[in-house]
Amino acid sequence: EPEKEPEVVLDSRFYKGKKEYWVKWQGLPLSRCSWESVSVLDKWKDMVDEFEKSRQKEVTGKRKRVGTAVGTTAKKAREGR
């Protein structure tokens, strides 16, 4: 059987103290995604790095929105709305 290649990393988690990635494999349906350790994805480190970079942007963006929402709520409270 030929070696399968990841299509995209969809998520990450810590399991038993080790980082794992939820991987969609090329040519396989989403139902065949699997949690894989960092060592399994070593050949595709660029894909993992890209996922981590996009995840960091997502987290940073959420923090900004939360800060804005809190600030807006506080302003409305001060104005008696």
Domain assignment present for residue 80? The answer is no
Domain assignment present for residue 73? The answer is no
Q: Report the CATH number at residue 34.
A: 2.40.50.40
Cα separation, 35 vs 18, whole angstroms: 11
Please give the share of the chain, as a percent, with pLDDT higher than 90.
62
pTM: 0.69
Residue 24 β-bridge partners? 8
Tokens in use for 75?
């302003």
* Mean pLDDT for the chain overall: 83
Q: Which domain holds residue 53?
A: 6-60
Show Cβ contacts of residue 10 under 8 Å, excluding neighbours closer than 6 positions: 21, 22, 23, 24, 33
Q: How far is CA 74 from CA 12, 42, 67, 78, in A?
A: 34, 47, 11, 6
Highest mean pLDDT among 52-56, 62-66, 76-80: 52-56
Domain assignment present for residue 81? The answer is no
